[in-house]
Amino acid sequence: MVDFEFASYMAKHGKVYRDIEEYEKRKALFSEMDQFIRTQNSNSRKGAKLGHNKFSDMTKSERAAKAGLKASPKRDSFVAQERILSANGDTTTYTMGLSDDKLDFNNAQ
């Protein structure tokens, strides 16, 4: 079943992989995401349902990079920063860190 769904996904999103190793890696990632989607949808009540998109064959790191987050030197986490100029001219940097299971906001200054 995954083979057919993955082939359909590839066609829909214009996915082409450089070799069989890349194909197998992406298919495995797609399969993991498919299982996650099915589990979430079976546990949810009426309302929104998850589905596949062009990111379904990517790693967490690749998805985060596509979302504009920068890789952090720590673990597999990502950091987005925003600098805010206060009325007195001081610049404060706020850092939002995203890791596997939490979201941290820190005032980095």
Domain ranges of the chain: 1-58, 68-109
Fold of the domain spanning 1-58:
Helix Hairpins (1.10.287)
Q: Which residues contact 46 (CB under 8 A, 6 or more apart)?
A: none
Cα–Cα distance for residue pair 29/35, rounded to 1 Å: 10
Question: What's the pLDDT tens digit per position in 9-62?
Answer: 999 999 999 999 999 999 999 999 999 999 988 887 777 789 999 999 999 989
